[in-house]
Amino acid sequence: MFPLLALEAFVKGGPILFLLLALSLIALTLVIAANKALALVPPSSKDYVNRLMTALDLEDTHDVKVFLNSRSDPYASVLKVLLGNQEKSREIALEAATQEGIAQVNNLRKHNMVLASIATSAPLLGLLGTIMGLISVFNVISSTGLADNTALAGGIAEALLTSFGGLLVGIIFLFLLQVIRKKIENIEIKIERAFVDVLSHPKFFSRGGEEEEA
């Protein structure tokens, strides 16, 4: 019964409501993809940092390099870049790690712009559909008059369906987008802490460019 009522509502809502349905399916696909990517990121970078700190204390980073090369998450990627610039100056290593961190965060954000566009445009599309519906209602009124108030009320209700649909899509995906943004912000903070902790280790540049410059 409910599927039939939903289908009837979509038919009454016209093409704008079907467009909103298509946009919501696209947005849902992007939300799922974004959450899958975020689920692959470990909850913390502490394990990586602790392994690397221990390796630096022992002055043997071979095993930790093998460990990091077996991982593809943002923390591992940034720390691999740091180790790759260990023989260079602090400024070069910091710049390389920063750029890699930005690239990793941007990769996690790649769906956000489309999600934001859908969330902000859906209410406007709903309003457009309502205006189109009201124009049709007033055209009927101008032709037939106000003889049937029930039909008039029904026509206005149908016109408002698109506004309801647009607001619903916008609110839902704006909320989900904010959740995704918050998760990415937390990852960004953890990435920065990870490479700052490693760079602050006294033995990180022990055989690197800073000694050569001194």
User: In this structure, what token pair is assigned to residue 213?
Assistant: 């410059």
In a domain, 33, yes or no: yes
Residue 144 included in any domain: yes
Q: Within a domain: residue 23?
A: yes
In contact, 137 and 63? CB cutoff 8 Å: no
Query: What residues make up the domain containing 183?
Result: 2-205
Q: What percent of the chain has pLDDT over 90?
A: 40
Residue 211 lies in a domain: no
Domain count of the fold of the chain: 1
Cα distance between residue 51 and residue 71, in whole Å: 13
Over the stretch 12-41, which tens digit does the pLDDT of each residue have? 657 888 899 999 999 999 999 999 999 999
Cα dihedral 128, 134, 136, 142 sign: negative
Cβ proximity of 17 and 161 under 8 Å: yes
Q: What does the pLDDT read at residue 61? A: 85
| Residue 155 placed within a domain | yes
Inside any domain, residue 212: no
43-93 residue pLDDT tens: 988 898 998 999 888 888 888 889 989 988 999 999 999 888 888 888 888
CA atoms within 13 Å, Cβ hemisphere of 192 = 8
Is position 210 within any domain? no
Both structure tokens of 148? 């049937």
Q: What's this model's pTM, rounded to 2 decimal places?
A: 0.81
